[in-house]
């Protein structure tokens, strides 16, 4: 990264041609060159050709940063993940959503800045950074119920979109998946397979998506007139170790359980490890279902039945919603590919809930 001191960088022998040199070569003014480069229609075909030839001959590359600042835009979007590096780099959810976000932003010629926040001090520092208009907008994923950064951004009039919600009545624009319906279909699948004592490894209670998945578990049992036994519910933390611990608790409380719905594939991997340590086979003794349809599910032995949430689609949709808020997303062929929401109909693009799908495999 080049350092700039005294407010102006001096041109060296290695630096490229300037806008002024292009203008002299084309025989036009600097403003005309700028209009051609920015695609303005207020330039004749003859002048446009002269400028384009000068650009090609000199090998001129537009200064993206200067153009963005002149337009009052940083051409940059921040992706904020309030999680430690250990979780971000080990859970399949995060790479998938980053892939979806980055692909959509690349099509819009926007830069992506990844920020991991651990403490209140880091949160406040980022809020100040954003308020200085060094970024155009913010995408946030894995936001817990007590996180206030989205509200700070809104008060600073910085466009923001959440991946998931903090609560049912979330005021900040968001893209989510049908967590309740997905969990309900998972438990209904286990009931249809004849399982009688179905437990769940739930996610953290301060994560709205985790609470929704627990709600779906309970709804499926109620719809089947099955009793709700709190001893069949144990909380994990969306990690493999958390799934292992929760599964051991469930086996201690209810040794005769014959099915488990886990609120994530990663926790299901931990639950399988605990089941094997207890001498229980999957699926003969205990059927196992996860949530996400991540690479973990496909590579487990046996392959894991799971609920597919469209993670990459959610990332793309988050970026699209933000670009729409910024006035930088142009509907085209990609618009037809937008997944139909189960909520957010009636033209409301700021709050969208995408459908989930049960993927049966050998673990159940």
Rounded to 5 degrees, what are φ and ψ at 190? -65, -40
252-270 pLDDT per residue, tens: 999 999 999 999 999 999 9
The neighbour count for residue 23, using CB atoms within 10 Å, is 18
DSSP for 276-291, please give it. HHTT--TTTT-EEEEE
Q: List for the chain the helix, strand, coil content (%; round to 5).
A: 45, 15, 40
Rounded to 5 degrees, what are φ and ψ at 161? -135, 135
For residue 56, what pLDDT is reported?
83
280-321 pLDDT per residue, tens: 999 999 999 999 999 999 999 999 999 999 999 999 999 999
Model confidence at 227: pLDDT above 70: yes
Cis peptide before 278 (omega within 30 of 0): no
With residue 61 as reference, give the H or E element that holds it. Answer: none
The CATH superfamily of 179-308 is Response regulator (3.40.50.2300)
Residues constituting the chain: 364
Integer Cα distance of 181 and 177 in angstroms: 9
CB 183 within 8 A of CB 214: yes
Mean local confidence (pLDDT), 21-33? 87
Q: Which residue has 């990264």 as its token pair?
A: 1
More confident residue, 121 or 12: 121
Domain 76-176+311-354 identical in fold to domain 179-308: yes
98-114 pLDDT per residue, tens: 999 998 888 787 889 99
CB 111 within 8 A of CB 77: yes
Ordered by start, the domain boundaries in the chain are 19-62, 76-176+311-354, 179-308
Model confidence at 181: pLDDT above 90: yes
128-179 pLDDT per residue, tens: 888 877 889 999 999 888 888 898 888 888 999 999 999 998 999 999 999 9
Model confidence at 37: pLDDT above 80: no
Model confidence at 62: pLDDT above 60: yes
For residue 312, what pLDDT is reported?
93
Q: 263 is written with which tokens?
A: 């609120």
Domain 76-176+311-354 grouped into CATH 1.10.3720.10:
no
CB 208 within 8 A of CB 165: yes
What dotted CATH number matches 19-62? 1.10.260.40
For residue 301, what pLDDT is reported?
94
């Amino acid at each position: 990264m080049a350092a700039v001191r005294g407010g102006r960088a001096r041109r060296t022998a290695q630096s490229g041609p300037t806008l002024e040199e292009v203008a002299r070569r084309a025989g036009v003014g600097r403003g005309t060159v700028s209009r051609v480069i920015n695609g303005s229609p207020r330039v004749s075909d003859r002048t446009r050709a002269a400028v384009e030839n000068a650009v090609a001959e000199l090998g001129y590359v537009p200064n993206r940063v200067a153009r963005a600042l002149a337009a009052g835009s940083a051409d940059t979007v921040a992706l904020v993940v309030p999680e430690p590096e250990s979780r971000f780099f080990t859970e399949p959810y995060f790479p998938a959503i980053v892939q979806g976000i980055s692909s959509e932003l690349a099509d819009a010629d926007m830069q992506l800045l990844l920020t991991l926040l651990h403490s209140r001090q880091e949160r406040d520092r980022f809020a100040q950074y954003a308020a200085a208009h060094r970024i155009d907008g913010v995408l946030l994923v894995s936001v817990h119920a007590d996180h206030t950064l989205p509200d700070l951004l809104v008060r600073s009039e910085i466009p923001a979109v959440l991946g998931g919600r903090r609560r049912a009545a979330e005021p900040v624009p968001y893209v989510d998946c049908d967590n309740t319906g997905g969990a309900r279909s998972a438990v209904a699948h286990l009931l249809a397979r004849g399982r009688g004592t179905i437990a769940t490894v739930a996610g953290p209670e301060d994560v709205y998506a985790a609470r929704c998945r627990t709600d779906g578990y309970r709804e499926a049992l109620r719809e089947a007139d099955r009793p709700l036994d709190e001893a069949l519910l144990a909380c994990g933390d969306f990690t493999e170790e958390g799934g292992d611990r929760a599964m051991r608790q469930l086996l201690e409380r209810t040794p005769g359980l014959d099915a488990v719905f886990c609120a994530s594939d990663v926790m299901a991997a931990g639950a399988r490890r605990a089941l094997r340590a207890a001498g229980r086979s999957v699926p003969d003794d205990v059927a196992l279902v996860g949530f996400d349809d991540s690479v973990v599910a496909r590579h487990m032995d046996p392959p894991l039945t799971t609920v597919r949430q469209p993670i990459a689609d959610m990332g793309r949709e988050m970026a699209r919603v933000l670009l729409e808020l910024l006035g930088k997303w142009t509907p085209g062929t990609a618009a037809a590919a937008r997944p139909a929401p189960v909520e957010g109909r009636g033209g409301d693009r700021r709050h969208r809930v995408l459908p989930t799908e049960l993927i049966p495999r050998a673990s159940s």
